[in-house]
Structure 1
Amino acid sequence: MSTPSRKRLMRDFKRLQHDPPAGISGAPQDNNIMLWNAVIFGPDDTPWDGGTFKLTLQFTEDYPNKPPKVHFVSRMFHPNIYADGSICLDILQSQWSPIYDVAAILTSIQSLLCDPNPSSPANSEAARMYSENRREYNRKIRDVVEQSWSVD
C-alpha cells in the first residue's frame, strides 16, 4: 500500500542515497519505509570528531505533516539528549515543518552536537558541565566518541 507518507519517504530515501550530506547516512530498516536506521559521524575538528553515532527514526502516516520520533541508539552525553536517547530539538517539536526531509533532520541533529542549547537541557549534568567546565565536558565527549566505536 502506497500512501502519501510512504511516497514521500521513498523520495527522501532516494535523495539521501543520491546526494547525502557530509557525515550522514540513513536507510529504512528491514524494508520497512516507516522505520529507519541512521548514522551521524562526529563533525571534523570538534570534540565529536571520529564518533559514529547510531539513531532510529520512526515515522507515522502523518509524515511529513508531523515529525518522526528520533532516538540515539548510541550512548550520548549532551545537554539536549535525554538518557533514553530522545532528542530535545525544536524542529522535532514546536518548529516542525513539512519542508524538512530526512537529510534536513539528520543535518540538524549533527549540528546540534556542536551547538547545544544548555538553557533548555534534557541532560542537566551535561548542560552544567558544558556551561561551567568546557574542558571536562569535552573529555566526556571524547569518552562517548571512543565508546561509539564498539559494536552495539
Structure 2
Amino acid sequence: MSSPSSSAAASSSAPAADVASNVASAPREGAALSSPQVVVLDDKDSQASAESPNTDRAGNEAAASSAAPAAAPASEPAPAPAPAPVAAKASTTSAKPKKRATASSSLSSSAKRIQKELAEISLDPPSNCSAGPKGDNLYEWVSTIVGPGDSPYSGGVFFLDIHFPQEYPFKPPKIIFRTRIYHCNINSQGQICLDILKDNWSPALTISKVLLSICSLLTDPNPADPLVHSIAQQLINNRSEHDATAKEWTKRYACC
C-alpha cells in the first residue's frame, strides 16, 4: 500500500512532466510557425528573379535606343556624284580614242605611200637626182640634184631637204634648197616657186616627178612667176650677165 506522500509526489510530478513536454515541443511549433516566413521570402526572391529579365530587357532596349542615333551617321551613304558631268566625261573620253584612231590610220596610209615611192626611186632614180630618208625618219628626206650640163649650174651639186606631211599624198611635200643658188624662182631661204608644189599638186604625182620638174626649172627658169624679181629682170634683159653670175655662185657654193 502506497503512502500518501508518494501519491502526492506522483501527482505533483505529472503536471511537471506535462510542462516539460510542452516546453520540449515548443521549439518544434516555433519552427513550424517560422517555415511560412521562409516560404514567403522564397516567393519574393522568385518574383524578383522573374522580374529581373524584364528589367534587363528594358535596360537593353533603352541602351539600344540611346546607341542607335550615334550609329546612324556612320551608316549614312556618301552623296552620289551628279550624273550629268559623268556622262559628259564619258562622251569626251570616248571621242578621244576616235580621233587617235583616225590620225593613226592616216599616218599608216601616208607611210605606206612613202615607202612605196622610196622603193621606186631606189630602183629607178630620176636623171641627175637622188633622194632618201634622213636616218630612221621616213617623213624627212634629203635629196641631191646635179646641175644640168646645158645650164649655168653645170658641175654643181645642190642639196635639198624634203618634208612629207602626214596627209601625204593629199598634200604636197615641202622642198627647200640647202645649197645657195642664183635663180629667179628660188629665193635666199631656199624656197621654190613651182606650181606643182602649190595649187597644181595632185596625189598622182610622186617625189621622182617633182625632182625632175625642179631639174627642168634649172634649165628653163620661169621669170613670169619669180620669187626674186631682180634676178628675173636680169634674166629677161641681160641673159649673158645672168648666166655668168649663176656660174659664179655654182662654183662658190655648189662645187665640192
Q: Give the TM-score taking structure 2 as reference length.
A: 0.57
Greater helix fraction, Structure 1 or Structure 2:
2
Aligned residues: 150
Q: In the alignment, is residue 54 of structure 1 matched against residue 159 of structure 2?
A: yes
Deviation (angstroms), 1:77: 1.2
CA distance in structure 1 between the aligned counterparts of 2:184 and 2:171, rounded to whole angstroms: 24
Q: Equivalent residue for 2:142?
A: 37
Higher gyration radius (CA)? 2
Alignment partner for residue 138 of structure 1, among 233, 240, 243?
A: 243
CA distance in structure 2 between the aligned counterparts of 1:126 and 1:114, rounded to whole angstroms: 15
Alignment partner for residue 21 of structure 1, among 126, 129, 154?
A: 126
SS of the residue aligned with 2:192? Answer: coil
Deviations 1:53-95 (A, max 9, x none): 1000111111101101110000011111121001010000010
CA distance in structure 2 between the aligned counterparts of 1:57 and 1:40, rounded to whole angstroms: 13
Q: In the alignment, is residue 90 of structure 1 matched against residue 195 of structure 2?
A: yes
Q: Equivalent residue for 1:74?
A: 179
Match for 2:142: what amino acid? N
Match for 1:132: what amino acid? N
Q: Equivalent residue for 2:213?
A: 108
Deviation (angstroms), 1:45: 2.3
CA distance in structure 2 between the aligned counterparts of 1:90 and 1:141, rounded to whole angstroms: 23
| Alignment gaps of 5+ in structure 1 | none
SS of the residue aligned with 2:138? Answer: strand
Q: Equivalent residue for 1:99?
A: 204
Are 2:184 and 2:232, in contact at CA under 8 Å, matched by a contact in 1? yes
Are 2:151 and 2:218, in contact at CA under 8 Å, matched by a contact in 1? no
Greater strand fraction, Structure 1 or Structure 2:
1
**Identity over the aligned pairs, expressed in percent?**
37
Q: Give the TM-score taking structure 1 as reference length.
A: 0.94
Q: In the alignment, is residue 63 of structure 1 matched against residue 168 of structure 2?
A: yes
Q: Equivalent residue for 1:149?
A: 255
Q: Equivalent residue for 1:126?
A: 231
CA distance in structure 2 between the aligned counterparts of 1:92 and 1:45, rounded to whole angstroms: 24
CA distance in structure 1 between the aligned counterparts of 2:187 and 2:154, rounded to whole angstroms: 21
CA distance in structure 1 between the aligned counterparts of 2:230 and 2:134, rounded to whole angstroms: 33
Are 2:162 and 2:173, in contact at CA under 8 Å, matched by a contact in 1? yes
Deviation (angstroms), 1:124: 1.1
CA distance in structure 1 between the aligned counterparts of 2:241 and 2:113, rounded to whole angstroms: 43
Q: Which stretches of structure 1, 4 residues or more, deviate above 6 A after TM superposition?
A: none
CA distance in structure 1 between the aligned counterparts of 2:234 and 2:219, rounded to whole angstroms: 14
